[in-house]
Amino acid sequence: MTDIGLWGVPLAILGGAIRVSTPFIFVSIGEALTERSGRINLGLEGTLVFGAMSGYAVAFHSDSAWLGVLAAAFFGLLFGLFHGFVCKLPKVNDIAIGIALMLLGTGLAFFFGKPYVQPVAPDLPSIPFGFWSDIPQVEAALRINVLFILGIVLAVAMAFMFRATRIGLIVRVVGDSADAARAMGINIDLVRLLSTGVGGALAGVAGAYLSLYYPGSWNEGISSGQGLMAVALVIFARWNPVNCFWAALLFGGAGALGPALQSVGVTQGYYLFYAAPYVLTLGLLIATSSTRRAMSSAPGELSITK
């Protein structure tokens, strides 16, 4: 193994950004879609944990990691559709339902997940993009999972959808002005139901990434709040899927800072370095905020901005 010394830090941040960010990417672009349609789903943390459990369980029984991902997406879809269906009822608060579903999702996942803590399920494959290098650290950092690439594709595709397609326009109208959408003859409830459903499915896939690739096993502590943080990242990214991707990368990279600094001998104050992602997010939010106007890109129908 080559001694790379301090180069380990930027390399770890790069590698960490790629490894750790994928769940953030999926949850946040899914939530971006849901919120663009005018709804908030705070329950994605629960969906993610249930996705992690169901993905692991199905992968273990079927011996196929990809079937696990599909199963996680399916259960995520169910959670999302359920959220969308309940919120459609009159006088239902989407934030309260989200919190309830978060607790339900994690609770159900813990309950059904009990027998799967011990078994070892197959992992998702990764593509060795570091093949050109003979430094093992670089090869390891650039071992990129297919889901990460899928996340990039989805982010770009969704951004294109919002900007240039009819479906994107419909979602945006529903999210910005229910009255305008009704005047156009759009079925608001259906649009929101589907948007929330797809958002849930993507959160399920994020969970499957956690349990099937990195760190790659199922237990009750698998999520350290990725589902919740990703919801905050959406606001940070101003509801733009491509920005969600960058925000997720930033968050993943900052998260890798703590362990990497300790490994090169910067050992004092590691609790502080572990707070880096949150401090960074706060700092950027403050730096990009404006005292004169509200967030310009916020969907008009969101219950937090309305």
Partner 1 sequence: MPHLFSADRRQFLMTSAGMAGLAVAASLLPAGLARAAGLTVGFIYVGPKDDYGYNQAHAEGAKAVKQIAGVTVIEEELVPETVDVQKTMESMINFDGATLLFPTSFGYFDPHILTVAPKYPEIRFEHCGGLWSEGMPANTGSYFGYIGMGQYLNGIAAGHATKTKKIGFVAAKPIPQVLLNINSFLLGARSVDPEITCQVIFTGEWSLAVKEAEATNALADQGCDVVTCHVDGPKVVMETGAGRGMYLCGYHANQSPLAPDMYLTGAEWNWAQVYTDMVNTTIAGGTIPNFVRGGLAEGFVKMSPLGPAVSDAARNQFEATQAEILKGGYAVIKGPLKDNKGNVIAAGGEAYAEDDVKLESMDYLVEGVVGSTS
* Residues forming the site for partner 1 (CB under 8 A): 1-4, 8, 11-12, 15-16, 19-20, 110, 114, 117-118, 120, 136-137, 140-141, 210, 214-217, 219-222, 224, 226, 255-256, 258-260, 262-265, 267-271, 274
- How many whole angstroms separate alpha carbon 165 and alpha carbon 80? 23
How near is the Cβ of 250 to partner 1 at its closest, in Å?
Answer: 16
How near is the Cβ of 1 to partner 1 at its closest, in Å?
Answer: 5
Cα torsion through 7, 259, 45, 297, rounded to 10: -40
Q: Positive or negative, the Cα torsion across 291, 296, 301, 304?
A: negative
Distances (CA, A) of 29 to 178, 199, 211, 264, 290: 22, 8, 20, 34, 24
Q: Please, which residue, 74 or 270, has the CB nearer to partner 1?
A: 270
Q: Which residue in this structure is represented by tokens 């229910």? A: 178
How near is the Cβ of 167 to partner 1 at its closest, in Å?
Answer: 34
- How many whole angstroms separate alpha carbon 16 and alpha carbon 47? 24
How near is the Cβ of 202 to partner 1 at its closest, in Å?
Answer: 19
> By the 8 A CB rule, do 92 and 84 touch?
no
Q: Please, which residue, 222 or 237, has the CB nearer to partner 1?
A: 222
Is the N-terminal amide bond of 215 cis, ω within 30° of 0?
A: yes
Q: Please, which residue, 12 or 170, has the CB nearer to partner 1?
A: 12
CA–chain centroid gap for 18, Å, is: 13
Residue 66 is encoded by which pair of tokens? 């990809």
Q: Please, which residue, 135 or 242, has the CB nearer to partner 1?
A: 135
Q: Please, which residue, 270 or 278, has the CB nearer to partner 1?
A: 270
How near is the Cβ of 122 to partner 1 at its closest, in Å?
Answer: 12
Written as one letter, the residue type at 158 is M
How near is the Cβ of 182 to partner 1 at its closest, in Å?
Answer: 44
Q: Please, which residue, 85 or 129, has the CB nearer to partner 1?
A: 129
Cβ–Cβ contacts within 10 Å for residue 150, how many?
16
